[in-house]
Amino acid sequence: MKCPKCGSWCAEDPTDGYWCQNPRCQHVWHPGPKELMQFTIRKADKRHLSDINRLIVEAKIGSPMEKLDGQYWIAKVGGRVVGSMGATTIDNSTAVLTTLAVEKPYRKRGIGMSLFNHAVNHVRTQGATTIGFITMYYHFRRFKRRGFKTMPRKFLSEPLKSHWMFTAKRYMKCAAMVQTFPSRAT
């Protein structure tokens, strides 16, 4: 696939888009609209563990879990689990979002960001005002548009710093993104 900006060769990137290999361009882009799909989002329980592990391993974003750590949601198309996302509440006001993954053929149809919004809304309803997660640079723009900011790990709040996801060696090439929300408590 050729880069629409400079015409150089593009590699497929893990977000189902393309990444220009010209070091001076490095444009990340996505092909045109895909057909929308009916999907449902619901809370996951232990019956969904194997599907969630399948998604995490296929997306290469983690290792299989022995049990669901925190709250999880799944997205289903027909009877098939095609996406999942987790969230852990660390204290009364801090939550960490984890392992967002959508099966490749189902990406770019709104499923991933619906799961993301669902998780953010849920932890906010539970009282979280600071929400953080880690992600790769090619996702930055997407989450910046949703109000999150990249933050060097040393500037993270103590509760976030103490969560294993921000200290795991495996995720050191990922950056932390954080957003502080107004309280929803009445």
Ligand X SMILES: CC(C)(COP(=O)(O)OP(=O)(O)OC[C@H]1O[C@@H](n2cnc3c(N)ncnc32)[C@H](O)[C@@H]1OP(=O)(O)O)[C@@H](O)C(=O)NCCC(=O)NCCS
What are the residues binding ligand X (CB under 6 A)? Answer: 14-16, 33-34, 36, 59, 61, 100-102, 107-113, 135, 139, 142
In the bound state with ligand X, the residue whose beta carbon lies nearer, of 113 and 151, is 113
Tokens 């795991």 locate to 168
Instruction: Name beta bridge partners: 77.
Output: 80
Q: Which is nearer to ligand X, 16 or 91 (CB)?
A: 16
For residue 23, give Cα distances in angstroms to 9, 20, 138.
11, 8, 15
Q: For ligand X, which is the closer residue by CB, 92 or 142?
A: 142
Hey, how many other C-beta atoms are within 10 angstroms of the C-beta on 102?
Answer: 26
Q: How far is the CB of 134 from ligand X (least distance, A)?
A: 7
At its nearest, how many Å lie between ligand X and the CB of residue 185? 27
SS3 content of the chain, % helix, strand, coil (to 5): 30, 30, 40
Least separation in angstroms between residue 33's CB and ligand X is: 4
